Amino acid sequence: MGNHLICMPKKDGRDVGSRSKRGGRSQRKMAAEEELLHRQALAMAIHQHQLSQRFDGSMSRRIGSTSSRRQALSDSFLNGKQTAESIENIETKKFVLIHGQGFGAWCWYKSISLLEEAGLLPTALDLTGSGIDQTDTNSISTLAEYAKPLIDYLHNLSENEKVILVGHSCGGASISYALECCPKKISKAVFVSATMVSDGQRPFDVFAEELASAEMFMQESQFLMYGNGKDKPPTGLMLDKQQIKGLYFNQTPPKDIALATVSMRPFPLGPIMEKLSLSPENYGTARRFFIQTLDDHALSPDVQEKLVRENPPQGVYKIKGSDHCPFFSKPQSLHKILLEIAQLP
């Protein structure tokens, strides 16, 4: 991360003023760079599909008021110099970032930038039918098809190479599937407000208590896609822009909401309706970590607590003030947690 130069103010105060001017220029430069980054991201995203159907917002309902006893850890980290020294000793520097439903690799742009600046090696993947992958959503019926880009990536790693796998939202099912398929390629798995299911459970089941039963959901939903005809089971789901804002982006900056609304795509239903087969020999040997988002309207903190209780990970972290998408609403806090997990021996 480079050397850090500490400037001590002179007694007559002249150095303080010059440092203040430099600080102002530095802030303006950072703001200009951030604006450029947003414009570049928006330019790339504009080629992707927009959303059109309505979403009824029922996922925002809470299922209780359980309180957490775990301490929020997102702000207790090493200082810059110590972090730089620790990064050099990290065994696994490769991060693979997996998006959730409707998103794509584009949603990780802040995390990618922060991880690269820290000297790490992040890669964000588009799952099948997501981001810039042109596969028709309606043609994807299994988790194996949906997660194929991730499994292919892991299979193509060199023999002794490992990665830290990070999954967001329904991306938790994809990284669970990867843990079962390629356990020796994954050093640690991080679930970011994600569907961390147990053996025999469907990703959809995580949302079921907030959505009511799957059958009622299917009957009442007016935002389902029927790629194989109305007389066949639905094949995909499209979310309305306004409902997405309330569910996913209640703490997200307007620029990132703009990016998301031109970038999010329909997502396939088959993969989240599929029961996962997770074995103690493969999935059970993984080092799993869960990051809870405490102002989440899509996957309530209470449901996140339930996931952690029913399928305990090795560690639990919390981000205060984060909506369902901490890579937008709290990117620095998310980054610090990812660094801390990477540094764990």
Catalytic residue set? 169, 296, 324
Q: Which value, to the nearest 10 degrees, does the dihedral of the CA atoms of residues 214, 215, 219, 221 take?
A: 0
Report the alpha-carbon distance of residue 293 to residue 162 in Å, rounded.
27
Report the alpha-carbon distance of residue 345 to residue 78 in Å, rounded.
15
Report the alpha-carbon distance of residue 223 to residue 251 in Å, rounded.
25
Report the alpha-carbon distance of residue 1 to residue 83 in Å, rounded.
9
Collapsed DSSP state (helix, strand, coil) of residue 38: helix
Question: DSSP class of residue 4?
Answer: -
Long-range contacts of 245-248 (CB under 8 A, 24+ apart): 246/57, 246/60, 246/297, 247/55, 247/57, 247/59, 247/60, 247/297, 247/298, 247/324, 248/297, 248/298, 248/323, 248/324, 248/325
